[in-house]
Amino acid sequence: MAVTASMVKDLRERTGAGMMDCKKALTETDGDMDKAIEYLREKGLAKAAKKAGRIASEGLVKLAFTADGKSAAAVEVNSETDFVAKNEEFVTFVEDLAQLSLDGDFADLEAFMAADLKGEGTVQDVLNAKIAKIGENMNVRRFTKLSEPGVVYVGYVHGAGKIGVIVGLKTTASAEEVNTVGRDVAMQVASMSPKFVDETGVDPAWLEEEKKIATQQLLNEGKPEKMLEKIIPGKMKAILKEVCLVDQKFVKNSDQTVAQYVAETAKAIGKEVQIVSMLRYEVGEGLEKKEENFAEEVAKQMGM
């Protein structure tokens, strides 16, 4: 019997198991839903599935780079608690995934989860085993590999893996030559969280929305409508300076912009350096945070 996407979706909703595991279970049981559920339980995936409803908003971000800096990768893996995020086995797991992302070429997360991890099974298999062993829900949330001709990548990890940043520098210089400037710029991205590298990369839809907000704010302040055409351009320019990386005030020296700092460094090493890309992962951003009541948790564990 052919396994359809709707069957996989149904089994996943009923068990909470991973997509690839559900597909495999249905294939092995010739599409029999009940047998597929039993198959997942027998494989020990039911225990992992039981924990799948828990919110995993803690975790780690890890980065990986080739020796020449011409390729880089970032991975975020979530856990329920910060305690598990510091577990040595969990840390090693995330590091292995970052290296897998760097070494491979995966079209999407599904392909990544189906990849072999150091001969221990697929990433999904290893993840399920970790969940069963550690006793917390965990989730491989996202990964990215960066590799562009003529670009050298440098990174920075903040807060023991809470924020990971990769900056792409277009240059003929070596990774060693641009390591300091790259790290400084990555630290800037980590602390100031710019939305765009420069004005050429600004999303027109975002810009239009910001313009509408700025216009309404000025009207609320009592500014005459006929004056807005003169005021808005200056206000938008100020907003862009805040959200574009190269125009931000450099955190290590507020007397210069990031662009000026990079130009100064490029002149010192005698080779052109241009920031062309950036990636910023922050653990749990956009995820619902788990609210804990300590008294309730203790009472629950004591069976009260």
The model carries a pTM of 0.76
Residues 6+ apart with CB under 8 A from 222: none
Q: Across the chain, what does the average pLDDT equal?
A: 88
DSSP track, 263-289:
HHHHHHHTS-EEEEEEEEEETTTTSPP
Where in the chain do CATH 1.10.8.10 domains reside? 5-41
Q: In the CATH scheme, what architecture does the domain 55-147 have?
A: 2-Layer Sandwich (3.30)
pLDDT score at 223: 87
Q: What is the mean pLDDT of residues 170-180?
A: 97
Dihedral sign for Cα 179, 181, 186, 191, please. Answer: positive
pLDDT score at 45: 66
pLDDT at 111 over 80: yes
Does domain 5-41 bear CATH number 1.10.8.10? Answer: yes
Q: What is the mean pLDDT of residues 245-272?
A: 96
pLDDT at 298 over 50: no
Total count of residues recorded for the chain: 304
Spatial contact of 28 and 21, defined as CB atoms under 8 Å apart: no
pLDDT score at 124: 93
Where in the chain do CATH 3.30.479.20 domains reside? 55-147
**Position 225: which residue type?**
E
Cα 106 to chain centroid distance, Å, stands at: 16
pLDDT at 91 over 90: yes
